[in-house]
Structure 1
């Protein structure tokens, strides 16, 4: 790890001012991912701006939306009564991620900004277009068991690692950003990017912007929702495949539905075709199977991750059945 300058700020405005002076600087929240990357030599910012004292830890109902500050910890969000009552899907997704110790310090904003756990990205001796553009993607013809089956490119097949973000995509959240000209909002589903030709860009956050909060609209999915995460061990493991499922039911009829997947793409993967198919239909395993089949359109394995082509639809079906059984 190289020497770096450490600065501390107490307002979003001053944080942006410091960032504008050096756009290669990094914001430091919980540091659960950034410090690891610095230790491994994957990133080497010369300046860290500590934003832990910026008052962005709110979790509150404002009108018809729940506002969650960017500096709220994963534990604080997951255990908050408002989240557990109104957005249980988010609570379950957060509790499925990392370890209790990490959740105690990891922040919502940091969770959104975390980088892939692809082994080629972390190994500075290996080719990785995310780490060094133009160097190649070692995973495509290498060890790719954990890698993407949707939205891949010939430049990168890495997956997005967050559980929280899968739930927030399913819940139609918005991201609120502080900019030099005031606040800017972006749909959560548009915040992260597919790799395309620029895999080094994980999201659409501009160099002079800062995440200040997430806004989640109230919904009718609290009663029938489930977050199912398939992984190699029961805790502290990233998803092979995960599914966030929310159903709004009238009797056994699906009035509305939300579905998103993790562990399968460079960004949280919303299953809109499956949602459109299920709306207005009966909540039956047969319909869930058809929705899962539709969800796999365009999926492609790379050898060692071919098993995801079977695991993914099976996980969708199971998640939907578990969400239904909450009735």
Structure 2
């Protein structure tokens, strides 16, 4: 397990206070003459179908792996849909986090008394040329959004089974296997989600039912948010709920790949029932057509959100590490 993270507010909007967790790699055993060392930064964005999850619902073994590569890992929260749409909420928040890093606020926080009281933060500096993005599921979609339209994109992207290719018929089809397991909720109960104020930046579970502690648990259908989110997934109405009345191509990474898009690697389970592997194949093909440095691994036998349950050292673990190896090939590890 990685050490406990530092946590800092990176944005406040309409009374929503949005924080990010910061995990720091070990300091070198021999000090660099007291001068801070520059480190690559990986932005690690949680999944949760844009409506669920929070920053502690990410794979801690993956964070450990990244820290061993001498990367700083930044795990943000973002506002959750549907009270705000995907573009104006999660995407904007993640792009604002990226700007927060590029504008020097991460370095300023690490050098502050608040960080110094917990860790020797002044010994760390961001290598602004080596800021990367990674995410799982909806977090993968958000990581990809940091490759197009921000003033300064990230240097590389790792996308684990992200939702893409939104014009594919799958995104409007119900999932009978899921619908059969859900109760029927009164519309008035589901509508209570829109009354939450301020717009939340965390929920009690993620899509796969992971708690903050990592233990598996079922959704609590006494909570409108749990009921609403899983109902949209079951009915095939996630985009309708989270991007209503808008052209989904505006937020579809497949439609924004082109020359200058950052090097990108995709990891996807072959048996994924929530986001079919064929949409990632479409993205991979578009990356190759666009001349983007890229790669893709399809993990045999794995369904959606497998990253949260894989065992370190397993075949799945070793295959998914190829994505992090790709990032390291692009930006390298920490250096003085």
TM-score by length of 2: 0.26
Which one has a larger percent helix, Structure 1 or Structure 2?
2
TM normalised by structure 1 equals 0.27
Q: Which has the higher contact order (CA 8 A, sep 6+)?
A: 2
